[in-house]
Structure 1
């Protein structure tokens, strides 16, 4: 109905997000949303390899 959210995302535990802190997989939390920034960091050359 009207006013109801149709969001069908997934919830992650903080421990799951914390596992993605390596150069091959980097996630960040911003305003209660999770973003995979791995490709972005590679494209802008923030890190090597």
Structure 2
């Protein structure tokens, strides 16, 4: 059960990475949105590290 939770977190982390990349490659990236996505990604990374 624990590994499925970590797997789900890894999937979310990868999705956030993709969203950040997409936003950064737009003609006019939204810096606030990028920062919010990076914060979410960091929280997920920290949760993965704790498990």
Query: Which TM class, normalised by the smaller chain length?
Result: under 0.3
Q: Which has more strand, going by share of residues?
A: 1
Q: Which has more helix, going by share of residues?
A: 2
Please give the TM-score of this superposition, normalised by the length of structure 1. 0.25
Q: Which has the higher contact order (CA 8 A, sep 6+)?
A: 2
Highest CA radius of gyration, 1 or 2? 1
